[in-house]
Structure 1
């Protein structure tokens, strides 16, 4: 049986010119035709994968009071813990609990005239009772960032651009975010939305899964399972690459189905994006690629902006209405994109 979601070996980039060209062609095809692929040969060892999954399980095993002490609603930067059902996708609750962290930076002092998205930058929240969590997750961010940058440069080459085509919009201060996620099992009668159908908003998402399935990608009008393959990361492109390529590359709709009762699923998604102050360029593609560009997808209920900070803030406000209500009430009655 043909595998719909292909497996690509990143180390083919370093195996001579012929193999490099073949890899770039496979990368372009996978990203355009399916939008998802498994990534092997990425250089992250099995022990490092096991360590971050173990750290995630240790966090979710904490007493509820310890997790709620760093609840996301306490953070205007959308960092921290979200209890099961606390995040929304298209207005419906996702059946998962999670911890969101981002780049560890100082908050920007607010003053009149600053773009509203500057309020997103700031520190993470960490559980006092699990001090080993911070170095484990920061370490994973560093490893995933290195892989994401190698992939982004490969995407630039696959689109017949200079390898550094995207450097100006992520260099020095890339905006990346990650979660550790636990999907508790539940009875079928309660519904199966682990995460509702959606697209990702950044450049690339690198997903680490445990041994339990649940991820599905929309392909030719059907849902296709993206079951775990040990040692691999699952990669999908986000809306920023869709914008930059004028729709030659298309961010793909995907979802997570809740595991059955008595089973829990752990995942670690890492979202690599551009600087919050960046504007996404429109690449000039060679004619043979340009004629296949479809333009970025348009959703009247969820418009795309080339201003990265505006896109990120829009997504956060929609997904976490409790944080929006507490920290961004001034934006909820007006068009924040114009603020």
Structure 2
């Protein structure tokens, strides 16, 4: 893979994350929508991170999601483990501390509950070749499923608006990416970082890039840090009314490095923290490769094609202990052409710099 020379190299020393009001994407005229799209594109090229307000997800919906997450994580461990993610074939359920590690040599100090788009097992998209699709397991907690599904549906619609804006910022038709978003394995995670005074200098979650197109994050306090092009860690200020957006692997490939997947981490959890990342993906069978419209402008393709669902599954296998064990036992197979975790984005650029 050739290292990108665009997207993020220009502003190596950025020290802050922009805040963009996207209300005009829902209600504005064509000029307003284009202006917001250009703001989004600039942030994606130069930083890879931005915060959005005016997204329409009101405080009551956000508060109810947090309340239901708290009720779930306050349960005894045995109750949570009854929904252990390793009990299911489509990567849904409870993730205990230590289960997930972007770096297998470091233990992440968090627990999570993972779900994705609810699909009936009889849906034609649910096949053995698409192991991340299907139904969700649900805890028997009053109001939990209703609150979580309401938030999922709302943030998914915000993501669709952003997907259209990303395309417009590149001078492409609004549906250029959205035509590949119908039944995607877009995951919502409910993450709990417990307060542990002995772990204040440990990573809540290690440095990584996100595998999908982009992420919309609802946090509840500070803790998120972003790596700028000079390798410095920049704090993302907490805003209770904002969602944090960052570009991921698949937009990097699609845009031929115009947008870069930016490394980020959670550090020094000095108080109990929740976060709710929504990983906006494209359909499982989508072949993601540098778009000819972009290659025609900036030269040669810098990335090999990848199948969206296979890339996501391969990265997940390398990140979760139960899947690594299944791989060792021959119960699952690594998809053809799987990339090593950290091959794209800033991780990949830094790796290229040290090896080449």
State whether TM-score is above 0.5. yes
Call closer, same or farther: CA 1:108–1:121 in 2, change over 3 Å: farther
Structure 1 residue runs of 5 or longer lacking an equivalent are 297-303
Which residue matches 1:103?
117
Which residue matches 2:158?
147
Which residue matches 1:301?
none
Give the CA deviation at 1:21: 3.2
Mapped pair 1:27 → 2:40? yes
TM-score normalized by the length of structure 2: 0.82
Report matched runs for 1:118-129 at 5 Å.
118-128=130-140
Which residue matches 1:274?
282
* Root mean square deviation, CA, Å: 2.7
Which residue matches 1:93?
107
User: Quick one: distance in 2 between partners of 1:103 and 1:308?
Assistant: 16
Q: Is the 8 A contact 2:45 2:258 kept in 1?
A: yes
Give the CA deviation at 1:177: 0.5
| Counterpart secondary structure, 1:336 | coil
* 1:81 paired residue among 69, 94, 104: 94
* 2:233 paired residue among 187, 212, 223: 223
User: Quick one: distance in 1 between partners of 2:191 and 2:324?
Assistant: 21
Structure 2 residue runs of 5 or longer lacking an equivalent are 1-13, 339-356
User: Quick one: distance in 1 between partners of 2:142 and 2:330?
Assistant: 35
Count residues in correspondence: 321
User: Quick one: distance in 2 between partners of 1:335 and 1:16?
Assistant: 46
Call closer, same or farther: CA 1:286–1:82 in 2, change over 3 Å: closer
| Counterpart secondary structure, 2:250 | helix
Once the two structures are superposed, residues 270-315 of structure 1 have per-residue CA deviations (whole angstroms, 9 ceiling, x without a partner) of 111011111114323468x93399945xxxxxxx752012101111
Give the CA deviation at 1:131: 3.9
Which residue matches 2:307?
307
Call closer, same or farther: CA 1:327–1:318 in 2, change over 3 Å: closer
Report the more deviating stretch, 323-332 or 238-247.
323-332
User: Quick one: distance in 2 between partners of 1:167 and 1:251?
Assistant: 19
TM-score normalized by the length of structure 1: 0.86
| Counterpart secondary structure, 2:90 | coil
Call closer, same or farther: CA 1:324–1:335 in 2, change over 3 Å: closer
Which residue matches 1:299?
none
Mapped pair 1:290 → 2:297? yes
| Counterpart secondary structure, 2:325 | helix
Which residue matches 2:353?
none
Q: Is the 8 A contact 1:76 1:327 kept in 2?
A: no
Which residue matches 2:215?
205
| Counterpart secondary structure, 2:154 | helix
User: Quick one: distance in 1 between partners of 2:217 and 2:156?
Assistant: 12
